[in-house]
Structure 1
Amino acid sequence: MPRASGRVLVVDDNKVIRQLIRVNLELEGFEVVTAGDGAECLEVVHQVRPDAVTLDVVMPRLDGVRTAARLRADPRTRDLPIAIVSACTQHEVDAGFDAGADAFLSKPFEPAELVTLVRQLVERGVARAGVSPSARTRGVLGLAGESESPAQA
C-alpha cells in the first residue's frame, strides 16, 4: 500500500495513547499534531488545519462528543473528517455519530486498522469537499455507512 500523506490532529488525554497513534500514523507518512483534550483541540484546529481528527470520548474539560459537535457547528470545520477512537459504550458511540463523527474505532485497536481508517477519512475528506454533513450515514468500525452493524464491534 502506498504511503499516505495528510495532516491529522490526534486528541486524547492519555499521553501514551497519543504517542502510540502518532508513531503509527507518522510511520505511514502522515503529519501528526496532538492535543490533550477537546478544549485544546478547538484552540489549535484552525492553526494546524488538519485533514482529519481523531477524538477520544472521555477527556477533561471538553469530551470528544461535545468536541465533535462544536467542530460540526463551526463553518470552518463543518466538513472536517472526524473519527472517535475510544473504549466506550454503545451509547457513547451513538452520541458520537449523532454529534457528527464519521467513524469509530474501538480501543484497543490494531495499528493497521487505525492507519486504514485515517487514510480513508483523509481521502474521503478531499473527495467530499463541499458535501454537506447531512449527506453522511452511520456506521461503526470504519467510515460511516461502510459497515453493516454495531455488532461487528
Structure 2
Amino acid sequence: MSGRVLVVDDNKVIRQLIRVNLELEGFEVMTAADGAECLEIVERVRPDAITLDVVMPRLDGLRTAERLRADERTRNIPLAIISACTRAELEGERARAAEVDAFLAKPFEPVELVRMVRELVFGRDGTGGPCGAESAVRPSVRAHRPV
C-alpha cells in the first residue's frame, strides 16, 4: 500500500512528525512550509491527499483549501486540516467554503493520523478517495479524534 501525501505546516517539528509517521506506514511524503509553497508545488508533486495546518504565514490552510477547490486541476484532491484550532472554531462559513474532507486536532495520536490519511487516499472501502473516488458530496469538516 502506498500513496503520495503533501504535508503543509509552518512548524518544522510537526511536519517531520507527520512525515515520519506516514513514511513508517509506506506513504511517500512531501512537505511545504505554508499554503503559498503548497500551491507552488502541488502540480509538480501530484499528491493523493494534502494535510493543511490552519495558522500559517503567507497563506493559511483554509485559504489554501479554497484555492485548491477553485482550481479544476486540484479540486478533487482529498484535504485534511490538522490543527490546534478546535473543530467548533473551524465550522464557520470559511471552513465550509474550504470544503475540507477531514479534521484532526493537535495534539493527535499517530495511529489516528495514519487512519485518517489512509481513508483520504484509499477511501473507506479501499477504492480511493473519501468514501470512494466517485463521492461528490464533501462534508464540511469530518472529525477524527485520538483513540
Q: Could you tell me the TM-score, scaled by structure 2's length?
A: 0.87
The answer on whether the counterparts of 1:57 and 1:84 sit within 8 Å (CA) in structure 2 is yes
3-state SS in 1 of match to 2:115: helix
Compare the two structures and name the one with the higher helix fraction: 1
1:136 and 1:74, CA in 2 relative to 1: closer, same or farther beyond 3 A?
Answer: same
Say whether 1:6 aligns with 2:20: no
Quote how far apart the aligned CAs of 1:128 are. Answer: 1.4
3-state SS in 1 of match to 2:85: coil
Aligned-partner Cα distance in 1 for 2:82–2:56: 12
Aligned to 1:140: 142
Aligned Cα RMSD in Å? 1.8
Aligned length: 138
Give runs of ≥4 in structure 1 deviating > 4 Å: none
Say whether 1:23 aligns with 2:28: no
Q: Could you tell me the TM-score, scaled by structure 1's length?
A: 0.83
Give structure 1 stretches of 5+ with no counterpart: 143-151
Say whether 1:110 aligns with 2:109: yes
Output one character per residue of 1:85-139: Cα deviation in whole Å (capped at 9) or x when no partner.
000142234433431110000000000000000000001328315x54xx22244
Aligned-partner Cα distance in 2 for 1:41–1:139: 20
The answer on whether the counterparts of 1:93 and 1:104 sit within 8 Å (CA) in structure 2 is no
The answer on whether the counterparts of 2:100 and 2:138 sit within 8 Å (CA) in structure 1 is no
Give structure 2 stretches of 5+ with no counterpart: 124-128
Q: How much identity, in percent, do the aligned residues show?
A: 66
